[in-house]
Amino acid sequence: MAKRRVRRIVRARLVLGLAVAAVLVFLYGYWAPFPYRAAVVAAARRNHLSPYFVAAVVRVESRFRPTVVSRRGAVGLMQLMPASAEWVASKSGLPMHPDLTDPRVNIRLGTWYLQYLLKTYHNNPVLALAAYNGGPATVDTWLQKGVLSPSESGYSRIPYPETSNFVRRVIQFEQTYRWMYGWLTFRKH
């Protein structure tokens, strides 16, 4: 009897272990993949950003597909508009006419732009993300009209549903990436 009980316990633990492993494979591979990790970490570090924050933006914008182009013409992993990318390249010292489908180039330009928006909006990630998605002029208008405040801490008052959803999803995915990949140590290169 005791041997049967021990075998059942061992079998149950094995099944539980396999189920947990399957869930983790799903989470790591599908829900929150982290390809281009080295490029994300390097660019995030260069621009004083959290790699989890950058990974979340990439996940929401393109699901890590480097050649994707939106209906509006945004290109690459971080979904940069070509005109914005040209402006960022001119300000950041990168070559003009960058190849936005090159993951390293796109991430480097996108992270520079994110840190620029964070500085512009006094390190408020909600406003910076809203500007990244809806444009700085739009966010400035919302601030001037009192629709949003400079200390905005949530996404629920953002008038554009698409922008509100973008901000919500990036914030959620940042926490997911922090939880799933927080055990990684991002060494300085």
Domain ranges of the chain: 1-31, 35-181
Closest alpha carbon to 143 in 96, 187, 169, 135: 135
Q: Which CATH number fits domain 35-181: 3.40.50.2000, 3.40.50.300, 1.10.530.10, 1.10.150.20?
A: 1.10.530.10
| Catalytic member of 61, 86, 152, 174 | 61
- Quick one: pLDDT at residue 185? 58
- Residues 110, 97, 42, 181: is their CA dihedral positive or negative? positive
**9 or 68: which leads in pLDDT:** 68
Per DSSP, the chain holds a count of helices (H) and strands (E) of 8, 0
Q: Is 174 designated active site?
A: no
- Quick one: pLDDT at residue 67? 97
For residue 102, pLDDT beyond 80: yes
For residue 180, pLDDT beyond 90: no
Per the prediction, the chain carries an average pLDDT of: 90
Mean pLDDT of 60-73: 97
CA dihedral 73, 78, 83, 87 (to 10 degrees): 180
Residue 119 contacts residue 53 (beta carbons within 8 Å): no
Instruction: Round to whole Å and give the CA distance between 8 and 29.
Output: 31
- Quick one: pLDDT at residue 7? 77
